[in-house]
Structure 1
C-alpha cells in the first residue's frame, strides 16, 4: 500500500477512508462538527470519530482491533501541537528521518509535525485481538496559551515546540483520570444538542488533565531550583525576548538576571527545555513567521527585525524550522 497523504484539513478522514479502507466505508456526519469513519474491513474493526470543538481543539477518538500484524504509511504535512493518550497495544512509529517512537498503552505523548514527513506505523502481533483505544487532541500554541492564561507552557511542551526535528515527541505516563476520560469519550452515548456540549467539556477536561501532569513533571525536573532561581531565570527569559534583535552575551545576561553563568545555562535548560540561544532562535523564527503572515514587510526586513543580519542564513534557519522558505509564507 502506498502512503496516504494528510494535510490536517477536514478532508483527511475522507482520504483515509478511501485510501486505507479502499472505500469499504463512508465517512458519516454525526453532527455539523462531528464525523465518524468505521473500520469494517477483513482483519480490522472499530471506528474513528473526529470533532472540531468550539474551543479551537480538534478531538479524535479511535477504537480498533486487528487480527494480524499490519503497517500504515502516512505522508503528513506540518501539524498543530498534538496530545495523544493510548490504552491497550499501540503501534511503533518510524519517521522518514529514522526517528523511532513507541505509542504504547499507558502513556500519553506531546508531539508536533514541524514539516512534511513520512510516518510509518507498525501494528505488530503483540496487539492481535486486543483493543487499541486512542484519544488525540490538536491545538495551536497560541490557543493553548490563551486557554491556560499563560505565555510559559510546561517544559515538555516547550521542548517539542523548540525542537528542530521534524517529529519531536515527549512521552509521559498516564494518570487514572486519563483512563476515565478514555472510557467516557470512547463510549460516549450523549445524543442531540447535549452531545456537542458534553464533548466540548470532556475535550477541555482532557487538555487540563494532561497539562496538569506535564506541570507536575516540570516541577519535579526543576525541584533542584529554588524559587529565587526560578524568578531570575524567568527574568533572563524576558530579557532575551525583549532584546530579540540584539541579545546580550551569556555573561551579561547572567549579570542582568542576577545569576552566575553556570546556573543560568543549567537552570534555563531545566526550566524551559532548551539552551538560551536555542530558545531565542526558535522565538525569533516564530516572530518572523508572524510578521511574514501580515504581509507588511519583505523577507529581508523581517530577517533584520528578528536579529538576522544575513538574509540567507535567516532563510535557511526558517526553512529548517517550518519546512518552507520564508518567501512562501501566506
Structure 2
C-alpha cells in the first residue's frame, strides 16, 4: 500500500505520505465572480492586487526545486485571509453530506493498483488491515531519531479523519477556529467548489505569501523566525521529540494567532501546509515557461523521489517545521504529496478569480 511504501522510501524533508482511497475528479472549478458569499462570513476574502514578482528561492539556502528564480505575472484575485477552519469545513459537510477521503475504506482494486507492478496479492488478514479507513497521524518519539526515517514520527491510524485528526479518541470539539486537517486535495477541491471558490495556483500562493515584499525570505521580511515576538506557529526545540512551545502552541494554532503579512493574510508561514491547485514537477522552474501570466503549473506531476506517484504542490510549512529540520515556512519553499493524502499538518485556504468584462 502506498502509505507504507512511501514511509519506507520517502526522501523528502516533510514526510508527507500517500493514502489511496475512493476517487473523485481532479478538475479545478472555473473562474468565479468577485462576489462574496455567505461562506465568507467566517473567512473573509482579501483582494490581492495583481503584479509581477520574482518567484523562487531568495538566497542559496533553498532546495533544488526552488531554482532558478524567474519572473511571473499574476492578475488580481481574492484569497481567504486565513486557512479554512474546522467550523467552516463542518458547515460544508453539514450542508452537503460530503464524506472525505480518509473516511472511506480502501477497495481491493485501489490497494493493488497502489502496489508495485507484479506484487503478489496480500493474504486476507493483511489485506483487511490495509483496507481500513484512516489517515497519517503525527506520533513523536521521546528521543532523538534520524531525520531520514519519517516512520519514527508518522503512523497510520485507523479512524483518523478531519473529525478525529489524531484518531478515534480525538475530536475537533472546541477547536472550531483551528485549521481543518486530514483533508485531501480532493476534499479541498470539493469544499472550494461548494463555497464558489477554488484552490490558489502555486504562483498565486507565493505572490500572496510575499505580501508585497520583494526578495525576502519570509512573509514578514528577513528577520529570523525566532527573534523577538513569535511570528508563526512552527516547531520550537528539538524535532521531533521536544517542543518548548515558545510560540505558544504544540500542534495547530487557532487561525489569526500571529500578525498578518502585508496583504493582511494570516498564517502564510507555519501552522499547516496548504494545498495548491498545481501538479508538482521538480523540474518545472527549470523547464517550464518563464515570464508567463497566471501560470497554472505543469500538465502532469513528476517527483524523482517517487516517480510512480503524481503529486500536488503544498506550500507554507507547518507546526512541524524548524530550522534544523524543514524550513518549509520560507515563502519560496515547495513541497508535495499525492491528491489523496491526509495528514495531521496539512490543510488549505481558497482563492477566487476576478472576471474581467
The higher relative CO (CA closer than 8 Å, separation ≥ 6) is in: 2
TM range (shorter): under 0.3
Query: Under a length normalisation based on structure 2, what TM-score does the superposition of the two structures give?
Result: 0.22
Q: Counting strand residues as a fraction of each chain, which structure ranks higher? A: 1
> Which structure's residues are more often helix, by fraction?
1
Q: Radius of gyration: which is bigger?
A: 1
